[in-house]
Every structure is written in structure tokens, then in C-alpha cells.
Chain A
Amino acid sequence: MKDLKHLIYFENLLQDAQNELVDQAKAAGQYALGYNCYYIPEVLLNLPGCFSSRLRAPRCTSTDIAGYYMTNRSCPYARSILERAIEGGYNYLDALFGAESCATMDRMESHFFLINPVKNDRFFVTQVDPPMKGDSINLEYYKVQLRVKVLEPLKERLGVDVSDEAIRTAVEKHNRLCRVITEIGSLRKLPNPPITGYEFHVIQLVSQVCPHDLILPYLEETLEELKTREPEEKFPFRARVVLVGSEVDDPDFTKLIETCGAMVVADRYCFGSFPSREQIEIQEGETAFEAVCRTYLKWNQCARFMDGGKIDQRHDEVERLVKEFGADGIIYENMKFCEFWSYEKVLASNIFINERHIPTCTIEKEYALGAVGQLRTRFQAFIESLEIKQIQGGK
């Protein structure tokens, strides 16, 4: 396939958290608001005069100082973010909106106010107590949390307009971006898609780490380009897989799977587009803020949800993706030391293999892709088994 016009530009934007678009927005006087987790609705960080920045630590290969603070036995994503913060990589941030979604995340975010690694006088941190069930009690708690820990600090500390009108405007802009990404992502449903999993991963990531106003024109142009892009003559992969799990913010991980022969047709992991690019519909009699909370709680697929409805939803959603995107199998990954996904991958792989009869492979990974030999072997073996299954007619 012909290279995408902006792919290299996008790849460059992913080389640093403080990329050129972030600099542009900051120069224009906008507030940079960091977050780590889907529990913090991106749309609320894109109110007038602000832009969201989902934190990544690209090219972070050593976490010596963060290891001192958090030991080397804690989640490498959290450690890498802290390391990058200590290195000064997030000095552009005006605030960090954290979530006690897991213990390590809580600890890492706490260091942002305990050791003050972000050198910005305005900088502050809040942490929400995220709900663990999908019922109305938890929805109410979610609303309270987001109001107290996100909206109120934005208004009081940064003077941001958090009125219903402002949130409605942010929702409209957010929906526009979501429509573009969803349309691009849906191309992966085609038998021979004009986009690879890697390319989509890059596109999805830039949409999370760059100011929306600035990245959107590039994304819209890319969508138009993709509409007429000629795919390879023949589907170049031997299998199609859905990638599911915890933090994956390195597109090279997707590339690794694809170089082993399987296209990643759907991305259901933290930083992926399922969930994150669902549009927010404001229903009658509902404020924009309420619609945001309801939508985010509805689509949230975090492995920490405990009620039966949400647990089943997690698995149903993956099955839906497998069917809609024509996948042959599922790869479940978890970041090393991530307890939620360690458990979830065991449960889910059992459900998918034994009850829903969808081939599933589980792996554990580091944050930085270093020695990938073992992973490559695992992927190759899995893909081979999918191929054999195809040859045998799915038996």
C-alpha cells in the first residue's frame, strides 16, 4: 500500500509527550491537562481553553529513579510515567487528573504532588475514586467524583468555563473527532482493509495525546485519503486478531504482532479505540455533564468492574468485536504486575476458549518493548494454530 501522507508526521508526534502540537497549543495560552485512564473523560479536559494529554512515556527504557520510589516490582507503565515526570517530560502540564483505578496508578499519581516532579507553578493533581459497578448508585458517585475532582478544580483553579453550554460544545467537538476515528477504524472490518493495525494504532494514539483542535484536520485528511487508498492486492496477513488488555501505548507492539503475520483488527485495551471513541448522545432532560458520565460508565470496560453485568459486558464486547471485525482469534495481554488484567486474562481466556470457542492467546508484557524474542515465538505459534484451524475449516 502507498504510505499514508501524514504517517511519519504522526509517528514523530508520538516521540515525546510534549510534541509540537502541544507546544503550539500552550503557546496559544491553552491549559494542558494530563490524565492516565479512561475513567477521566477526555471530553471534560477539552473544555474551552484546555486540551487533554493522555500521558505516555515514549522511549523510556530505564526507570531507575522511579524504581527507587516504587520498586521494580510495580507496574512498568506507572513507573515509566513517573520516571518521565522526574526527567521533566511533563513540565508543560497544568494539572493531572488521576484516578485511584488501581493501587499503582494511585501511588504513581501521588508522587506528582509528593515530590513535585512537574516544574510548573500552576500544576496541581486531583484523583477521583472511580466506581466499580455499572448501576445507578455508582453512576451518581461517578458524577460526584467528576464534579468535585475535575469540574470544580478546573473552574476554581484555572478559571475554566464548566457551564452546561461549554460542556455541550466540548461534546460536539469530541463527537466529531470520534466519528472520524470510528470511521477510520471501521475500515478494518473489510476483508482486505486499506489500513493496517499499526497505522490505526498510531492514528488513535495521536488523537489522545495531541490537542484535538490541532490534530483533527490531519485526521480528517487521513480519512479522506484512506477512502481512496488501494489496499494490497491480496490480504497480506495470515490471520486477524483482536488485541485485548491493559496499557498498550506503543504502536510497535501492534507492529510486532503484525510482523508475525496477524493483523490487529480491533483494539480493546487501554489507549485503544474500544472504548474511547464512542459518541456522546445527550438525551432529553439530561445535562451535558450527565450524558458524559453516563456514556463513560456505560462503555468503560475496565477489568476492575465487579458486578456481573459489567463482567459479562467485558466479554460480550470482545466477542462482538471478534464477529464484527472478522477476527480469527484474540490476544489477551497484561502489563507485568497488573493484577486486574492478570486475573481477567485467566478468566476471559477460559471463557473464550472453553465456552465461546474462540481461539485465545494470553501474554504478559513490559511497558518498553525490549527483548521481544519470546513474545514473537508466542505470537507465531498462535498465528500458526489459527492458520491450521482455517485450513481445517474451523475444526
Chain B
Amino acid sequence: MKLLDKIIAPVDKALERFDPVKKSEKGTGGLRDRYYDKTGVAKWREWRGVKDTMVDYAAWLNNILAMGQMVASAPIPILKGFWEYRWMGSYLGTFMFIDRLFEGFRGPELKIAHMNMHAIVQSLTKRIAFALKNDARFGGGPDTLNIIPYDETISPLWLMGFKGLYPFPMQTLPEFIICDIDQHIEPYYIDVAESFGLPADVCSRCAAETGVAIDDAFVKAGRVMLSTNMPCNASESTSMFQRRRIGLPDFAVTLAMQHNKPEALPYSRATLEAGIKFVEEHYGVKYDWNEFFKYARLINEQNTIELEKWEYFKTPYSALCGIAETLYRLYEWQSVNGAEPHFNRNDRKVIKIMRKCYEEKHQPFGGKTRHRAFLWGPSSVYYCDFPTWIQNCWGINIVLNMDSTMGYNMINTDDPDKAMDDLTKLEEKATMRHHAVGGWDNYNAVWDWAKRFNCDMVLMNDNIACNGTLGFHALMEEQARDLGFHFIFVEHDLQDSRTISRQEMRNCVNKYMSVVLNETPLDPTLVEFDDADAY
């Protein structure tokens, strides 16, 4: 390996002038140089040195292969899907999305980022093919009636005890994941909902889900649907529209909002048990605890590895950080939750690299990190590739996102009674609701998390339509002041980038960094640029 390094060193030296990170170090350019204005389309791909360019190239090929497999596994349904669903077209932006996310990544952090991303691509492509193959709109397939459509904010683990049935998160394909890839897709569905009288001041994510329902753009499959009260008021309300338009028997999985109180557990548990009974009745399949334990072991392993990762996150030597950490954990926990063993295989490989990097005291991003930040950020974080941008522009390393702190308790794998309690605790702490509901203590926990991970900064994405966040606006600022954290509210309108553009989001950080902290950017080309027309 060292020989190879010696061979490529002169090549790297000769081509250094094409490397945007080196250019920004020398003050001769930066990461934004290679883009056409507004579009987010790069004139050429990032030159990262021979080795890292090859890593990136191989990952690109690998992802193309996964997509090719998806098309090959169900060519006609995939084509029909592209023709029928507007959101399917947006998946073509995936390559551009991945490029944006890992801009400026080098060495082990690039390698891990691609490993994580490829696991997501593999999962998503299989899921898309499976869904379209069994979409009743296109005539259905062998598993159309074996699918259990559920609200994506419920994790699928509790449904894995139904052998032969396939839990399917309804909103993930048309809304949850795709809004990260293409910021222009959800405004279409938001407009559909608003054209029916929905006010523009409600959470845009739920407005988009409502629009998908009204526009009849959900995949059609299953015998029932499982809605939920998670995570917030608007998502409870949009369920009414989805329930009505999808027209299947519905069970609302309403878990306790005050999930840290002792009286919550029996209630949430009883609700999950009633949900299991509901599925049993409608599908004629008995819940199989042994089947459940099989998957519980997988999520236990995922969470065990996650907890080890956290130990590295606390140090300056974590090769996994930023978008590669947050997006992966979000998807792995919320959408997979033990249901896909290849995520475990990936975790095992990733943790090995992380251990090695820690031993070698490898500092990510060339040791250019100036601040360590805990992020509280939802979808808008991804479509504006926020953690990547903030690292490259200002040297702020996103150590952990709130999405990563979801349920991490272990599940008992031999006693159904104990397992049910553990499962309930896990489910109650799903995406966003872990901190956003249940009162002040849960919300205020952000500072403890930041402290635990040795962060000096907290970045809070301030969804202009999120009643939960708005209600504690001033208190959070006061807390930051009292506890001595750098604190930035990053205004955004979640899935509607027309209200607050990506540049306006970035400006919230730019202003704080330049005016309050009086710092200069690492890469000046990233401070102000127009990417309004980018996916």
C-alpha cells in the first residue's frame, strides 16, 4: 500500500491544482468553482487525488449497479412507476445528491460515507422495486396483499413478527427520502394540498403528505394501514386525509406523548399490542415471537455498534461524522430498524475503520475542524447538504444530529413480555418525537447531549411552522447563553424551499460566524452562491 502511495504521490502533486480543497487552502478557488450557476450541476466531478477519486468512482459504479439491479428486477413496473409517479422522476437526482453530500470528503471519512450511502441505496432500490412490483395500480403482484402499509414514523421492528408479511413505510418513497434528494418535488404536493384550502402556515412536511394523498400518489398495496400520532400535531392531522384517501381499514398507533413518565409505558404497550391484534385479524397471520427475536437481535447489534460509535464521536478522531452519520442513522433506525441484515454487515465494517482511525488519531477533514456542533435538524438539513457545507465553509463538524439519538435501548430476545416493554420504549423514542414532544425536559435535553459529545455549539433548525420549536424559542436562546454554548437558529420551512431558500438558511450561519464569532470562512466560495434551481 505504501508503495502505491509512493507511485501516486507525484500524480497527486501534479493534479493538485484541480483539487478544490487544495485550491481553497491556497486561496486560488474552492469547492463551488466547478458548478454552473443556480443549477447545482457540476461541470466535472470533484478531483480528490487519485486514491479518493477512485474510491468515489467505485462507489458511483456500485450505486449504478444497484440501480441497474432494481430496474432489471422489475423493468415494466419500474417504467410504469416513472410514468405514473412524479416523485419517481426525482430519484434520478440521487447521483447529484450523493455528490453534494460528500463534497470535500477525503480518506476514511469518504470511504465510510460511501459505505453508509450504498447501504441506503441498496435498501431503497430494493424497496422501490418491491413496491412497484406489487402496486395494485399496475395490476399488483404476489405480495400485494401481504404488505402492511404503515406510517413511516413508526419503526418497522414491531411488525417483523409477522412471518410472510412485509411492513412498508407508505410515505418514505413519495415524501420522506425524496424530499432530501430533490427540494423541488414536495412544493408540488404542498400546492396540491393548499389548493384544497389547507393554510400555508402548517408544517410543510405534513402538507406534502396530504398533497400526496389528495393527488393519489401513494403506492397501492396491503389490507390495512397503520397511522400514528408520531411525531407531532400536523402529522396526526395529515393521517386523517391519508386514511380517507387510501381507504383501507385503519389503526392509529397512538403512543404516549409524555413518554418519559412512568404511566406512559403501559398505555403505549397496550396500543402496540392492539395494533398487533388488528394486523392478525386482517391478515390471518399469527404473530411469531421467534421471528421477532431474530430481527430484535439485529437491531440490538446495530444499537450496540451505535453506542460504540458514540464513544468515538466524543473524541476528535471520529471518521464518521456529518451527513454520513446523520442520514445513515436516520434511515437505519427509522426505515430499517433491524429488518435488513445488510445494514448490520455494513455497521461491522464501518466500526472497524472507526476503531483504526481512532487508534491512529486520524482527524477528519484534515484537522480543520474549529467547532464541534450538536445539530437539531430534519429534512431541510439533507436537501441543503447542511452538515457538509458547514464543515467545508466554516469548519463546524456536526458530531451528532438529534435524529441519531432515537431509541437505543436493548430488546430482550427470549421473553415476549419483557421484549414488549423494551420494544415499546424503543418505539416511543422515534424520529423527532424523542425530543420534540413530552414537554420541556425532553426538549431541553439538547444541552446535555451537546455536553456529552463535547460540543461547543448547538445548531437548531428552526422550522418556521413547527409549533413545538417556536414555543420554546426564547428559552432556548436564554439556555444557550446561560450554559455557554454557541447557538444558531437556522430558519427553514422544512420541505418548502420556496419560503426560505437554501442560501437564506446558510446565511443564518454566515451571519453568526462572521458577526458574532468574527471568523473567516475556510472556503470563501461557499459563503454565498445561488443554488435555487438545484435538486
Q: 25 A–B contact pairs at CB < 8 A?
A: A68-B474, A70-B472, A70-B474, A71-B473, A73-B465, A75-B467, A100-B439, A103-B467, A106-B437, A106-B468, A107-B467, A111-B475, A115-B475, A127-B439, A132-B229, A135-B274, A137-B270, A137-B274, A138-B267, A148-B263, A306-B240, A342-B198, A342-B237, A344-B240, A346-B197
Report if B121 contacts A (CB, 8 A).
no
A340 touches which of B237, B244, B471, B474 (Cβ 8 Å): B237
Q: CA–CA, A344 to B470, complex, Å?
A: 22
Report if B405 contacts A (CB, 8 A).
no
Given contacts A100-B258, A129-B257, contact A307 B267 (CB under 8 A): no
Interface set, chain A 344-369, CB cutoff 8 A to B: 344-347, 349-350, 362, 364
Report if A238 contacts B (CB, 8 A).
no
Q: How far does the Cβ of A381 sit from chain B's closest Cβ, in whole Å?
A: 16
Proximity bits, A65-84, B CB within 8 Å = 1, else 0: 00011110111001000000
A306 touches which of B239, B438, B440, B467 (Cβ 8 Å): B239
Q: CA–CA, A108 to B210, complex, Å?
A: 28
B237 touches A344 (CB 8 A): yes
**Nearest residue, chain B, Cβ from A75:** B467
Which residues on A sit within 8 Å (CB–CB) of B258? Answer: 100, 127, 129
Given contacts A107-B468, A107-B472, A303-B237, contact A308 B254 (CB under 8 A): no
**Nearest residue, chain B, Cβ from A115:** B475
A347 touches B468 (CB 8 A): no
B254 touches which of A110, A131, A350 (Cβ 8 Å): A131
Query: Which A residues contact B (CB, under 8 angstroms)?
Result: 68-71, 73-75, 78, 100, 102-104, 106-108, 110-111, 114-115, 127, 129, 131-133, 135, 137-138, 140-141, 144-145, 148, 303-304, 306-308, 311, 334, 336-337, 339-340, 342-347, 349-350, 362, 364
**Nearest residue, chain B, Cβ from A127:** B439
B467 touches which of A69, A102, A110, A129 (Cβ 8 Å): A102
Given contacts A68-B474, A364-B199, contact A129 B256 (CB under 8 A): yes
Which residues on B sit within 8 Å (CB–CB) of A137? Answer: 267, 270-271, 274
A110 touches which of B227, B472, B473, B474 (Cβ 8 Å): B472
Q: How far does the Cβ of B228 sit from chain A's closest Cβ, in whole Å?
A: 8
Which residues on A sit within 8 Å (CB–CB) of B261? Answer: 129
Q: How far does the Cβ of B278 sit from chain A's closest Cβ, in whole Å?
A: 11
Report if B182 contacts A (CB, 8 A).
no
B237 touches A73 (CB 8 A): no
Q: CA–CA, A251 to B472, complex, Å?
A: 30
Q: CA–CA, A69 to B239, complex, Å?
A: 30
B233 touches A339 (CB 8 A): yes
Please indicate which of the listed interface residues A71, A100, A135, A334 has the most CB atoms of chain B within 10 Å of its own CB.
A71
A129 touches B473 (CB 8 A): no
Which residues on A sit within 8 Å (CB–CB) of B198? Answer: 342-343, 346
Which residues on A sit within 8 Å (CB–CB) of B438? Answer: 100, 129
Please indicate which of the listed interface residues B239, B254, B258, B473 has the most CB atoms of chain A within 10 Å of its own CB.
B254
Which residues on A sit within 8 Å (CB–CB) of B252? Answer: 132-133, 306-307
Q: How far does the Cβ of B210 sit from chain A's closest Cβ, in whole Å?
A: 7
Q: CA–CA, A144 to B268, complex, Å?
A: 13
Report if B238 contacts A (CB, 8 A).
yes
A108 touches B256 (CB 8 A): no
B197 touches A306 (CB 8 A): no
**Nearest residue, chain A, Cβ from B255:** A132
Interface of A is mostly: helix
**Nearest residue, chain B, Cβ from A351:** B244
A-B CB pair tally, cutoff 8 Å? 147
Which residues on A sit within 8 Å (CB–CB) of B270? Answer: 137, 140
Which residues on B sit within 8 Å (CB–CB) of A343? Answer: 198, 202, 210, 234, 237-238, 240-241
A144 touches B254 (CB 8 A): no
A339 touches B464 (CB 8 A): no
Given contacts A131-B254, A304-B236, A306-B239, contact A349 B197 (CB under 8 A): yes
Which residues on A sit within 8 Å (CB–CB) of B267? Answer: 137-138, 140-141, 144
Report if B44 contacts A (CB, 8 A).
no
Q: How far does the Cβ of B360 sit from chain A's closest Cβ, in whole Å?
A: 46
Q: CA–CA, A138 to B229, complex, Å?
A: 13
Q: CA–CA, A337 to B198, complex, Å?
A: 11
Given contacts A133-B252, A137-B274, contact A311 B468 (CB under 8 A): no
Which residues on B sit within 8 Å (CB–CB) of A349? Answer: 197
Given contacts A129-B258, A306-B254, contact A103 B232 (CB under 8 A): yes
Query: Shortest 5 CB-CB distances between A and B: which pairs?
Result: A107-B471, A343-B237, A103-B467, A306-B252, A129-B258
**Nearest residue, chain B, Cβ from A362:** B197
Report if B203 contacts A (CB, 8 A).
yes
Report if B196 contacts A (CB, 8 A).
yes
Which residues on B sit within 8 Å (CB–CB) of A100? Answer: 257-258, 437-439
Which residues on A sit within 8 Å (CB–CB) of B250? Answer: 307-308
**Nearest residue, chain A, Cβ from B464:** A73
Q: CA–CA, A106 to B258, complex, Å?
A: 11
Q: CA–CA, A339 to B436, complex, Å?
A: 16
A70 touches B234 (CB 8 A): no
Q: CA–CA, A336 to B244, complex, Å?
A: 25
B263 touches A74 (CB 8 A): no
Which residues on A sit within 8 Å (CB–CB) of B472? Answer: 70, 107, 110
Which residues on B sit within 8 Å (CB–CB) of A364? Answer: 199
Which residues on A sit within 8 Å (CB–CB) of B266? Answer: 144
A69 touches B475 (CB 8 A): yes
A132 touches which of B201, B236, B439 (Cβ 8 Å): B236
Q: CA–CA, A344 to B199, complex, Å?
A: 11
Q: How far does the Cβ of B104 sit from chain A's closest Cβ, in whole Å?
A: 34
A110 touches B234 (CB 8 A): no
Proximity bits, B66-88, A CB within 8 Å = 1, else 0: 00000000000000000000000
Which residues on A sit within 8 Å (CB–CB) of B196? Answer: 346, 350
Which residues on A sit within 8 Å (CB–CB) of B465? Answer: 73
**Nearest residue, chain B, Cβ from A308:** B250
Which residues on A sit within 8 Å (CB–CB) of B244? Answer: 347
Q: How far does the Cβ of B433 sit from chain A's closest Cβ, in whole Å?
A: 11
Given contacts A100-B439, A138-B254, contact A337 B201 (CB under 8 A): yes
Given contacts A103-B437, A308-B243, contact A74 B199 (CB under 8 A): no
Q: CA–CA, A223 to B252, complex, Å?
A: 43
**Nearest residue, chain A, Cβ from B200:** A342
A339 touches which of B229, B234, B439, B440 (Cβ 8 Å): B234
Q: CA–CA, A107 to B443, complex, Å?
A: 10
Q: CA–CA, A350 to B470, complex, Å?
A: 30
A306 touches B470 (CB 8 A): no
**Nearest residue, chain B, Cβ from A130:** B257
Interface set, chain B 247-299, CB cutoff 8 A to A: 250, 252, 254, 256-258, 261, 263-264, 266-267, 270-271, 274
Q: CA–CA, A110 to B468, complex, Å?
A: 11
Please indicate which of the listed interface residues A129, A308, A334, A343 has the most CB atoms of chain B within 10 Å of its own CB.
A343
Please indicate which of the listed interface residues A69, A73, A145 has the most CB atoms of chain B within 10 Å of its own CB.
A73
Interface set, chain B 466-491, CB cutoff 8 A to A: 466-468, 470-475
Which residues on B sit within 8 Å (CB–CB) of A346? Answer: 196-198
Q: CA–CA, A330 to B459, complex, Å?
A: 45
A110 touches B439 (CB 8 A): yes
Q: CA–CA, A344 to B197, complex, Å?
A: 11
Given contacts A339-B234, A343-B241, A346-B197, contact A70 B468 (CB under 8 A): no
Q: CA–CA, A333 to B394, complex, Å?
A: 47
A114 touches which of B229, B256, B440 (Cβ 8 Å): B440
Q: CA–CA, A343 to B207, complex, Å?
A: 9
Q: CA–CA, A75 to B472, complex, Å?
A: 13
Q: How far does the Cβ of A37 sit from chain B's closest Cβ, in whole Å?
A: 14
B233 touches A70 (CB 8 A): no
